[in-house]
């Protein structure tokens, strides 16, 4: 089902935007034609932009990665935004700039509030949406502080605003659904992000983090016996063995290609486990051919199958472990 994020763009103390966002969410969740999820920027305290350009979908800061995962999980957005000094809140612009591919080929609608209903904030947001490949819909909801808020503090919208909100939601859902065939890049970014999580978890020797990346019934064809490891516990047992061998673990993934279609994504490339033994000896490891198959489970892309293979010499029947990609 199409998933729409309702993004609250104000983080100020004493904000009234949370009242507006709840109004939008309550009306939206009664529809039944899409899934709606609240996104509060207070829950994502991003630093002032400290990331390199995010066109690759790979981010250095864990706060950025967490925010990117939330944005990637949505097919469209309703921005609930105030107007500050004829413009958008700085925290919203910062959030928009932190990630890139996760916004692409999705739809955006606007519910704004302020002195003139937040209209000038939306004017600028539409320009930003164009740069982010967000299809902004024409209908919008504007909520003047003088008419829709009692004492400029308590949200009391007129009934006519419901019709405006319904029309906006209609367009956001329709456009988000229509753009679905173009969003292969969203899946690729999510898959690459999950593989980044594996690398970080291996380096940290974090089995709990690894468990979140695999489906409970994952089937793994590894270079170690047996022929297959069935279930996440068997897969983690294999990684736990690696952790006992190495004092420090490293993992490299090279030449990764990701292909996605529908609810299936496949990544393939070359992987290498290396590290340092308890004796201090460095072990470079060997390159293997790595394949990962992903499916969405509970809104997250997880590995349902992976395979590591080593070329072998036909004449001797022995594996060839000294090849470089």
How far is residue 109's CA from residue 77's CA, in Å, rounded to a whole number?
Answer: 6
Cα angle value 293/298/302 (rounded, 5°): 20
| Phi, psi values for residue 42, rounded to 5° | -65, -30
Closest CA to 130 of 110, 107, 113: 107
Residue 155: how many CA atoms within 13 Å on its side-chain side?
19
Q: Of 58-62, 101-105, 135-139, where does the model show the most confidence?
A: 135-139
Q: Is 21 buried (19+), middle (13-18) or exposed (0-12) by CB count in 10 A? A: buried
Quickly count: other Cβ atoms within 10 Å of residue 108's Cβ: 24
pTM (two decimals): 0.62
pLDDT band at 299 (very low <50, low <70, confident <90, very high): low
Cα 32 versus chain centre, distance: 24
Q: Give the pLDDT of residue 58.
A: 66
**What is the pLDDT at residue 185?**
60
- ∠ at Cα 269 (280, 298), nearest 5°? 95
Strand partners, 319: 312
For 23-70, the pLDDT digits (tens) are 999 999 999 999 999 999 999 999 988 777 666 566 778 898 889 889
In sequence order, the 6+-apart residues with CB closer than 8 A to the CB of 244 are: none
Beta partners for residue 6, in sequence order: 38, 78
Give the per-residue pLDDT at 117: 95
- CA angle at residue 61 from 60 to 67, to 5 degrees? 115
Mean pLDDT value across residues 64-83:
93
**Residue 247 has what pLDDT?**
94
Residue position matching structure tokens 């000038």: 120
Residue pair 303/292 in contact by the 8 Å Cβ criterion: yes
Residues near 23 by beta carbon (within 8 Å), at least 6 away in sequence = 155, 157, 165
- Percentage of the chain surpassing pLDDT 70? 96
**Longest Cα separation, the chain:** 86
Q: What pLDDT shows up at residue 223?
A: 87
Residue 151, pLDDT score = 94
Average pLDDT, the chain: 92
Q: Where are the alpha helices (DSSP H) in the chain?
A: 17-29, 62-72, 90-98, 119-131, 145-148, 160-178, 184-204, 207-211, 232-245
Over residues 66-95, mean pLDDT:
94
* CA distance linking residue 185 with residue 265, whole number of Å: 11
Tokens 């993004």 found at: 7
- The alpha carbon of residue 300 and the mean position of all alpha carbons in its chain are separated, in whole angstroms, by 9
**Residue pLDDT, tens place only, 204-217:** 999 999 999 999 99
Q: 103, exposed or middle or buried, with CB in 10 Å at 0-12, 13-18, 19+?
A: buried
Rounded to an integer, what distance in angstroms lies between the CA atom of residue 248 and that of residue 246? 5
Looking at the predicted structure, is the pLDDT value of residue 119 above 90? yes
Distance CA 198, CA 236 (A): 12
pLDDT at position 290 is 96
Question: Which residues are registered as beta bridge partners of 282?
Answer: 276
């Amino acid at each position: 089902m199409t998933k729409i994020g309702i993004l609250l763009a104000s983080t100020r103390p004493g904000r009234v935007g949370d009242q507006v966002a709840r109004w939008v969410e309550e009306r939206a969740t009664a529809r039944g034609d899409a899934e709606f999820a609240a996104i509060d920027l207070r829950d994502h305290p991003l630093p002032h932009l400290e990331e390199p350009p995010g066109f690759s979908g790979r981010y250095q800061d864990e706060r950025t990665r967490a925010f990117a995962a939330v944005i990637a999980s949505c097919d469209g957005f309703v921005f609930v935004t105030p107007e500050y000094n004829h413009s958008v809140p700085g925290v919203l612009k910062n959030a928009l700039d932190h990630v890139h591919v996760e916004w692409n080929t999705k739809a955006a609608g606007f519910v704004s509030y302020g002195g003139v209903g937040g209209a000038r904030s939306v004017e600028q947001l539409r320009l930003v949406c164009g740069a982010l490949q967000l299809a902004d819909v024409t209908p919008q909801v504007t909520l003047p502080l003088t008419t829709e808020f009692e004492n400029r503090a308590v949200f009391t919208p007129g009934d006519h605003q419901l019709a405006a909100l319904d029309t906006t939601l209609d367009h956001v859902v329709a456009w988000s659904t229509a753009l679905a065939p173009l969003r292969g890049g969203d899946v690729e970014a999510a898959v690459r992000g999950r593989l980044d999580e594996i690398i970080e978890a291996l380096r940290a020797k974090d089995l709990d983090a690894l468990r979140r990346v695999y489906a409970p019934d994952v089937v793994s064809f590894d270079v170690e016996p047996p022929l297959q490891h069935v279930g996440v516990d068997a897969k983690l047992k294999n990684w736990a063995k690696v952790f006992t061998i190495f004092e420090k673990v490293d993992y490299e993934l090279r030449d990764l290609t990701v292909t996605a279609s529908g609810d299936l994504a496949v990544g393939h490339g070359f992987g290498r486990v290396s590290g340092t033994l308890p004796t201090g000896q460095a072990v470079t490891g060997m390159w293997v051919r790595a394949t990962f198959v992903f499916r969405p489970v509970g809104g997250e892309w997880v590995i349902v199958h992976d395979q590591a293979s080593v070329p072998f010499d036909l004449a001797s029947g022995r594996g060839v472990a000294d090849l470089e990609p």
